A and B are shown apart, each in its own frame.
Chain A
Amino acid sequence: MSDHPTGGRRTERAAAACFVVSTVAAIALAAVYWEGGQPQAEGVLLALSLGGIGTGIVLWAKHFMPADEVVEERPPLESSEEEVAAFTADYETGGSSLRSRRLLLGTAGGACAALGVAVLFPIRSLGPRPGRGLKETAYRAGDLRVVREDGSPVRPDDLEDGGFITVWPEGHTDASDASTLLIRFGDDQGFEPRPGREDWTVDNLVAYSKLCTHVGCPVGLYQTESALLLCPCHQSTFDVMRGAKPVFGPAARSLPQLPLGLDDEGYVIATADFSGPVGPGFWDRGR
């Protein structure tokens, strides 16, 4: 087999050395695993044992295997006219007998179509009818205290000017669609309530849904001085002093506002649900 052995004695030794390195690395890999494992060592040793085999084989192939180019004819892909004709003839022989039974063809087709539709029905089991859930939150009960993650209620003076916390309706701190940003603005920040929402704030506290109106990420960053809320996902920016209307980024709608009040004990409550559906838009959001 001396077809094209371009490699010499040294190349052969190098390839053999690769296989030996691989063997040693494989044994070391097993030992490392046995001794309790170590991810970096495992990765490097596995790479060495795989790479040793790979390099060895490539050297072998390049230097000790025949490297001749050959020419292969490329026969036409298309069948010859005779082959097509022969196929058509055979098919027609059987096909004509099928077509003559119009009634059977029609009813069998109908049965298959009906079955096809019927087996689609179980898809309905995958999820509930999208109902009011997308348009309402737990706040709809009205006059619910807003509470922190640990369930503690909030007094207006718990927050300093420019401070903000995340709150939920009492008893629903696991309701992801009801997470709310409670923000205290300074007197000099020029808060302008939306028309009709003049009494939705208490003691300079304003509350908006924390879910971005773009794709629903939590709007988690608040720049106190400029009173801008920023969504870290896609950089939508909302102006807290102007009804949380979007001022930059892909969001096209304001964050829904939560009407606030105080209860008899002086804790902050939400008097009703948000001003609109929270989070990302959907087809019949406005209906």
Chain B
Amino acid sequence: MTTGPRTERLLTHRLARWVDSRLGTAKLARTALNKVFPDHWSFMIGELGLYCFVVLVLTGVYLTFFFDPSARPVVYDGSYEPLRGVEMTEAYRSALELSFDVRAGLVMRQIHHWAALLFLAALAVHLARVFFTGAFRRPRELNWVIGCTLLILALLNGLFGYSLLDDQLSGTGLRIVYSITLSIPLVGTWLASLLFGGEFPGPDIIERLYVIHILLVPAAIAVLLTAHLAVLVRQKHTQFPGPGRREDNVIGERMWPTYAAKALGLFFLTSAVLAFLGGVFQINPIWIYGPFDPAQVSAASQPDWYMGWLDGALRIMPGWEFRAGGFEVPNPFFPGVLLAGLTFALLYAWPFLEARVTGDYDEHHLLDRPRQRPVRTALGAATITFYVICFLGGAADVLAATFGLSVNAILWSFRVLALALPPVVGWVAYQLCRELSARDGVPTASRVTVREIPGRLRRRSRALTAGESATDRA
């Protein structure tokens, strides 16, 4: 780097000097520029989630300028003909206005919804990636726990988001939320009353969810996301095994400039996909559903995809509940509270459970390939199978209508499959892992050359040829 008179005159240079002379940032900034990012396509998935969150915040802020989360009854007088003269809440009316009478309002609303769908998808796949590669092992248990919390917050905020609009579908969703809250033993009636401000539908729920949806949860997500990234920077990335890659180093691209540019490009491309989806593919057409009427429900009411497993679990659950001495544990408690609670409890506990069972409390920075850990991979595959069956159960009525089958037959099949298929898939995954790793044989150590470059980093030659001596350690 030359610092001649020409660079000194640059505005950016002068600005950097101004900041540095007050905060002494040059050393830290240089560390940041040289942060090493190992390269693998699967490492981008979490990044995708981050970009979706940025898009969610940007579009969401715009939406708040027009949406009014009020239960005040009004008569619709906007530009959507079929609903003129219909009585509805101000919340639903302002959502219609936002969609039809605010320029760019509909595209913003739809980008927001698509971004939420993709956000949850990115989080789910990122979770699976971290699980199947063992990236949660020591020292990264903390980031696993933060990540699980982020997933729960994202799920809830998605649900709260589409529940705000007070259309027929969202009202049905809220009623189910109310009933699940009500089902909690001992405190359920109190919780439901405090959350909804009384009996369902309750006058306050939309305004309350609004504050939660646009302030509390996003703030919590932003804080935890920052913590997630801070821990990642502190602990540095994991990497897959490969030539020269060891537990005590990390090999990859420096952040500046190539990786930063690629990341920025990925952000723009993610936003582009979301903009395209939001512009061209209709999502949550609330004007078709109509305003919420507690006495009505439309057939084929389905939640957004990430709540599908819970809705499906509600459907698949046989008609059991427990009653004794005038007290009861109602049916929705088991899928709605117990299953959901167990799911996340197990998720949180997994790194600690696995360490206890395998006795492996060592630090790991080199990732597993899924095939190298047949038991973990089998358990993961079986678990995913269970939730996929639940998810499909949530579409039982649609499947029945589409394929001309009886709903009862489909639900019975799912009840059986939910219990029978996971072990089968697990066993197949186990055998597959064994076979694949046997075929791999013992991984052969490749040879690497490394030459010194100034600072803590050493540049690795691009072409690796057999016969070169392994001098990857100074």
- Interface contact A54-B326, CB-CB below 8 Å: no
Cβ-defined partner of A72 (8 Å) among B199, B236, B269, B462: B236
Q: How many residues on the A side are at the interface (Cβ–Cβ under 8 A)?
A: 78
Residues of B within 8 A of A54 (CB): 265-272
Residues of B within 8 A of A60 (CB): 261
Cβ-defined partner of A71 (8 Å) among B262, B297, B472: B472
Q: Does B361 contact A (CB under 8 A)?
A: no
- Interface contact A70-B279, CB-CB below 8 Å: no
Q: Which of B63-71, B215-223, B250-258 contacts A (4 or more CB under 8 A)?
A: B250-258
- Interface contact A250-B269, CB-CB below 8 Å: no
Cβ-defined partner of A58 (8 Å) among B262, B316, B459: B262
Given A70-B36, A235-B315, A282-B189, A51 and B268 touching (CB < 8 A)?
A: yes
CB distance from A213 to the nearest CB of B (A): 8
Given A42-B279, A130-B189, A282 and B330 touching (CB < 8 A)?
A: yes
- Interface contact A71-B275, CB-CB below 8 Å: no
Q: Does A166 contact B (CB under 8 A)?
A: yes
CB distance from B364 to the nearest CB of A (A): 12
Alpha-carbon distance A285/B323, docked complex (angstroms)? 10
Residues of A within 8 A of B196 (CB): 127
- Considering the complex, which residues of chain A in the window 64-78 have a beta carbon less than 8 Å from any beta carbon of chain B? 65-74, 77
Q: Digitize B418-430: 1 where CB-to-A-CB distance is under 8 Å, 0 elsewhere.
A: 0000000000000
Q: Does B408 contact A (CB under 8 A)?
A: yes
Alpha-carbon distance A57/B450, docked complex (angstroms)? 29
Given A65-B258, A250-B317, A215 and B193 touching (CB < 8 A)?
A: no
- Considering the complex, which residues of chain A in the window 257-280 have a beta carbon less than 8 Å from any beta carbon of chain B? 279-280
Given A39-B106, A39-B110, A72-B250, A232 and B265 touching (CB < 8 A)?
A: no
- Interface contact B297-A57, CB-CB below 8 Å: no
Most buried by B among A56, A166, A216: A216
Given A39-B110, A74-B249, A217-B172, A235 and B275 touching (CB < 8 A)?
A: no
Q: Digitize A35-53: 1 where CB-to-B-CB distance is under 8 Å, 0 elsewhere.
A: 0110111111011101101
Residues of B within 8 A of A106 (CB): none
Most buried by A among B196, B262, B311, B336: B262
Cβ-defined partner of A53 (8 Å) among B139, B193, B236, B268: B268
Cβ-defined partner of A61 (8 Å) among B186, B258, B296, B407: B258
Alpha-carbon distance A48/B280, docked complex (angstroms)? 13
- Interface contact A37-B104, CB-CB below 8 Å: yes
Q: Does A87 contact B (CB under 8 A)?
A: no
- Interface contact A281-B328, CB-CB below 8 Å: yes
- Considering the complex, which residues of chain B in the window 283-342 have a beta carbon less than 8 Å from any beta carbon of chain A? 294-301, 311, 314-321, 323, 325-332, 335-336
Q: Does B27 contact A (CB under 8 A)?
A: no
Q: Does A204 contact B (CB under 8 A)?
A: no
CB distance from B83 to the nearest CB of A (A): 17
Work out how many contacts link A and B, with CB atoms closer than 8 A.
295
Size category of the binding interface on chain B: 35 or more
- Interface contact A246-B280, CB-CB below 8 Å: no
Alpha-carbon distance A134/B202, docked complex (angstroms)? 13
Residues of A within 8 A of B111 (CB): 43
Given A43-B280, A69-B462, A232-B298, A127 and B275 touching (CB < 8 A)?
A: no
- Interface contact A281-B262, CB-CB below 8 Å: no
Given A72-B236, A176-B201, A216-B175, A41 and B244 touching (CB < 8 A)?
A: no
Alpha-carbon distance A77/B139, docked complex (angstroms)? 9
Alpha-carbon distance A54/B266, docked complex (angstroms)? 6
Residues of B within 8 A of A282 (CB): 182-183, 188-189, 192, 328, 330
Alpha-carbon distance A72/B182, docked complex (angstroms)? 54
- Interface contact A70-B411, CB-CB below 8 Å: no
CB distance from B107 to the nearest CB of A (A): 4
Q: Does A233 contact B (CB under 8 A)?
A: yes
Q: Does B84 contact A (CB under 8 A)?
A: no
Given A61-B265, A216-B179, A252-B331, A43 and B450 touching (CB < 8 A)?
A: no
- Interface contact B280-A236, CB-CB below 8 Å: no
- Interface contact A72-B103, CB-CB below 8 Å: no
CB distance from A28 to the nearest CB of B (A): 13
Q: Digitize B193-204: 1 where CB-to-A-CB distance is under 8 Å, 0 elsewhere.
A: 111111111101
CB distance from B63 to the nearest CB of A (A): 14
- Interface contact A126-B280, CB-CB below 8 Å: no
Residues of B within 8 A of A217 (CB): 172, 175-176, 297, 301
Given A70-B36, A74-B250, A215 and B332 touching (CB < 8 A)?
A: yes
Alpha-carbon distance A185/B180, docked complex (angstroms)? 33
Residue contacts A-B, CB under 8 angstroms, 24 given: A43-B275, A47-B273, A54-B272, A69-B252, A70-B253, A70-B457, A72-B250, A72-B456, A126-B194, A133-B198, A215-B314, A217-B176, A217-B297, A218-B295, A220-B299, A232-B300, A233-B297, A250-B335, A251-B331, A280-B332, A282-B183, A283-B327, A283-B328, A286-B323
**Chain A contacts to B: CB under 8 angstroms:** 33, 36-37, 39-44, 46-48, 50-51, 53-58, 60-62, 65-74, 77, 123-124, 126-130, 133-134, 149, 166, 176-177, 179, 210, 214-218, 220-221, 232-237, 246, 248-253, 279-287
- Excluding A214-B179, A250-B319, A281-B330, 10 further A-B contacts by CB distance (< 8 Å) are A39-B107, A54-B272, A130-B192, A215-B180, A215-B314, A216-B176, A235-B315, A281-B332, A286-B326, A286-B327
